[in-house]
Amino acid sequence: MSSNAPGATNPMLYDPIPEGQGSTTKRNQFVAALGICMAAVSGGTALAWTSPVLAQLVPANQSDTSALDSESFLLTTDEGSWVGAFLAVGAFLGALPAGYLAEKIGRKYTTMSLAVPYLISWALIIFASSAGMLYAGRLVIGIATGASCVVAPMFISEVAETSIRGALGAFFQLHLTVGILFVYAVGSYTHWVTLSILCAIFPVLLIVAMFIVPESPVYLVKKGRRIDAGVALKWFWGPNADTQSALQTIQSDLDAASGEAKVSDLFTNATNRAALFISLLLMFFQQFSGINAVIFYTAPIFQSAGSTMDPAVCSIVVGVVQVVMTLASSVLIDKAGRRLLLLQSSFIMGSCLIVLGVYFKMQNDKMDVSNIGWLPLASVVLFIVSFSLGFGPIPWMMMGELCAPDIKGLASALAVMFNWTLVFLVTKSFGTMQELLGSDWTFWFFGAWMMLCTVYVFIKVPETKGKTNAQIQAILSGKK
């Protein structure tokens, strides 16, 4: 072949692998997911940051100014709550533009660009001298976190083979928990400014990682760059991959879609509507599992069980359990399937919440609970294990699986905006619920939602394990 022949400059113009006879390697798919999920680690650090930091910036006694010797400023309780809440506001604002950018400039460059608001926000926080600067930093980091929740699961679902799509899909939640654990472990024993500087390392790692990872083949085919898509597939799936068959599958999925999606397409098309509503309801049940309520109560529950552990150690224990069990989920998800893990998750979490409600009811009624002090501790650990196996990772992963290629960016953005709206509402209303209803009824409230969730998942949520996008769309349309 001469040097001017097409295949001499780009081997993808001539693929020697006979159609249907290729073999794949999975190493680079895991490498890519790890790099993309530096955005998730960054989001996890943002989520958990307030846990150790507000303990340093909000004095238990609001008239106590002794901490001013070591801090440049302190926050009131109300200011502290807004420092936490602004992340959810920013995440809501960041979701929709991320979906739009992912369709316009690609998944790779959108993911890489997220490092910019992450780094800006950490700079604002590190040099903060007032509550206003912290508000600004938390709003900007919220925008980056919300955008990460849209783009990273979408990107991963498009580069993963069907056989490991579940395992890689769980990577997003896994790396969120890694970021959370990092903050719990480091933040409990360092100054909040030092913690913030260390957190800024992960956006830098994101930039480095995204230089290595190619663009999504789905995006490239969508833009008519079929040769580039083949080269990307060779990187992700190995040099012996049958790229022609893979590209044809991608093209067929895109051809079956309606082209550029409009918001109205999400509601007028029955298949799109089903995918969106399932995604939204999974996000709803994720937040109404009461996960934030249980984590908020972790230290008191440990204490009521007779534990003398430091609250910081309690947080680290919870963080370790989340990481380990989310890792277990990534192993199980392509074996047990999505529905089974969701069903066990909602049923067990609902049962644990009911038990916690009963325990606090007995405690409030001045009953002797000393002989069952182990019960709330066992309940909260089992709750977190079950959440991490099911409703922690799976809603994020299924959001990317259920939607057709043309609506994936828009539908994912709406689902993430909905999720963060719920985070804001549940977080801000939890204290009020506690005061008005009491701890027992608050836990029972969330437990009731989980029991309803179990019925919904059993009746309405399809199994997507091992299925192509075309097969999933056929199930949603009622054809299979």
320 assigned to some structural domain? yes
- Asked if residue 106 has pLDDT above 60, the reply is yes
- In this structure, the answer to whether residues 162 and 39 fall within a common structural domain is yes
Q: Does 467 lie in the same domain as 318?
A: yes
Among 21-25, 39-43, 206-210, 240-244, the range scoring the smallest mean pLDDT is: 21-25
DSSP 60: S
Question: Which structure tokens are listed for 354?
Answer: 């009911």
In angstroms, rounded to a whole number, what is the distance separating the alpha carbons of residues 274 and 71? Answer: 52
Is position 470 within any domain? yes
Task: Give the global pTM.
Answer: 0.82
Cα–Cα dist 172/27, whole Å: 17
**Same domain, yes or no, for 206 and 293?**
no
My answer on whether 161 and 283 are in the same domain is no
Q: Of 151, 180, 213, which one is at a domain's C-terminal end? A: 213
Residue at token pair 């989920």: 329
230 inside domain: no
Q: Does pLDDT of 11 surpass 50?
A: no
For tokens 């692998």, name the residue.
Answer: 17
Q: Where does a domain end: 175, 196, 213?
A: 213
Residue at 68 is within a domain? no
Check residue 69 and give its pLDDT. Answer: 43
Instruction: Tell me whether residue 159 is in a domain.
Output: yes
pLDDT surpasses 50 at 37: yes
- Residue from 160, 200, 161 nearest 182 by CA: 200
Instruction: Give a yes or no: residue 241 inside a domain.
Output: no
- The answer to whether residues 298 and 202 belong to one domain is no
Q: Domain holding 54: CATH number?
A: 1.20.1250.20
Number of domains in the chain: 2
Final residue of a domain: which of 148, 180, 213? 213
| pLDDT value at 227 more than 50 | yes
* Shared-domain flag, residues 197 and 329: no
Q: What is the pLDDT of residue 5?
A: 40
Do 288 and 393 fall within a single domain? yes
Tokens representing 92 are: 């809501």
Structure confidence by residue, pLDDT tens digits, 145-157 = 999 988 998 899 8
Give residue-wise pLDDT tens across range 166-214: 888 888 889 999 999 999 899 888 999 999 999 999 999 999 999 999 9
Average pLDDT, the chain: 84
Question: What are the two backbone dihedrals, phi and then psi, of residue 106, each rounded to the nearest 5 degrees?
Answer: 105, 160
Domain containing 136 equals 25-58+75-213
307 and 184 fall within a common domain: no
Model confidence over 336-392: pLDDT tens digits? Answer: 888 999 999 999 999 999 998 898 888 888 887 777 777 887 888 899 999 999 998
| Residues 269 and 411 occupy one common structural domain | yes
Q: Is residue 357 part of a domain?
A: yes
Residue 235 lies in a domain: no
CA dist., res. 175 & res. 393, Å (int): 10
Same domain, 209 and 272: no
Looking at mean pLDDT, say which of 57-66, 111-120, 247-256, 296-305 comes out highest. 111-120
Quick one: how many helices (H) and strands (E) in the chain?
25, 0
pLDDT more than 70, % of the chain: 88
How many Cβ atoms from other residues are within 10 Å of residue 206's Cβ? 27
Q: How does 336-375 read in b/e, with b if 16+ C-beta sit within 10 Å?
A: bbbbbbbbbbbbbbbbbbbbbbbbbbeeeeeeebeeeeeb
Could you tell me where the beta strands, DSSP code E, fall in 167-268? none
Domain co-membership, 456 together with 333: yes
* Same domain as 306, residue 198: no
d(CA 316, CA 313): 5
